[in-house]
């Protein structure tokens, strides 16, 4: 019984250790066409999603602001944003992690339209060839891009 107890204890430790990755090790579980993480959905049939990914090209542009880069926008980048063919963060300050565009406008409710206008200009000046469809969302939006396609 004692041997069983000890073996069970070590198995439990091993199990807990192997099933909880370090925070830094966390990687997005899936990217169309390539598995990039340990969390593979082995039984998921992604053939339709992969086909649509290359046929229906969506550029997503996310409105955000410096105060929300860490709080909101990075989570878009780490989750559903990956499933867009192209993801752009529109802000008023640059951000290395997000690769955010610093639009030439200050933040504030009075500037909401001005900021949207600048974002439109940026996309039409730089990125029109990227996609068939253009989607704009807020930094606190969650989209199921697969279903949208
Ligand atoms: C995945 O789905 C597609 C389309 O429905 C089907 O043709 C294909 O056989 C499926 N693949 C597997 C492995 O089930
Ligand atoms: C970002 O998220 C915050 C908090 O949910 C929201 O108030 C804000 O309108 C969003 N958009 C921008 C551009 O900051």
What is the 17 CA–ligand 2 centroid distance (Å)?
37
- Based on the number of CB atoms within 10 Å of its own CB, is 144 exposed (0-12), middle (13-18) or buried (19 or more)? exposed
Phi-psi region of 41 (alpha: psi -120 to 50; beta: other; left: phi over 0): beta
pTM of this prediction exceeds 0.85: no
State the pLDDT at residue 128: 75
Whether domain 52-147 has CATH 3.40.50.300: no
State the pLDDT at residue 39. 58
Domain boundaries defined on the chain = 52-147
Query: Please, what are the averages of pLDDT over each run of 10 residues along the chain (149 residues)?
Result: 82 70 45 51 86 94 94 96 95 92 86 90 85 94 95
Phi, psi dihedrals of residue 34, rounded to the nearest 5°: -145, 135
Pick the residue whose CA is nearest to atom 11 on ligand 1: 45
Query: How confident is the model at residue 24, as a pLDDT?
Result: 44
Q: Which residue minimizes the CA distance to atom 12 of ligand 2?
A: 64
Q: Whose CA is nearest to atom 7 of ligand 1?
A: 47
Ligand 1 contacts (CB < 6 A) are: 45, 47-48
CB 92 within 8 A of CB 107: yes
**Opening angle at CA 31, ends 46 and 24, nearest 5:** 135
pLDDT value, residue 43:
83
Model pLDDT, residue 148: 95
Those residues whose C-beta lies under 8 Å from the C-beta of residue 10, and which sit 6 or more positions away, are none
CA distance 64 to 59: 16
């Amino acid at each position: 019984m004692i041997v069983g107890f000890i073996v069970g204890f070590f198995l439990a430790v091993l199990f807990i250790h192997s099933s909880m990755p370090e925070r830094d090790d966390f990687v997005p579980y899936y990217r169309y066409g390539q598995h990039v993480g340990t969390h593979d959905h082995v039984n998921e049939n992604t053939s339709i999603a992969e086909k649509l990914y290359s046929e229906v090209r969506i550029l997503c542009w996310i409105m955000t602001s410096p105060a929300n880069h860490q709080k909101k926008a990075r989570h878009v980048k780490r989750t559903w944003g990956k499933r867009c063919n192209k993801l752009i963060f529109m802000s008023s300050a640059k951000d290395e992690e997000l690769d955010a565009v610093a639009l030439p406008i200050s933040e504030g409710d009075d500037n909401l339209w001005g900021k949207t206008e600048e974002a439109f200009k940026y996309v039409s000046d730089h990125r029109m060839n990227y996609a068939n469809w253009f989607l704009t969302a807020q930094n606190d939006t969650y989209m199921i891009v697969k279903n949208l396609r």
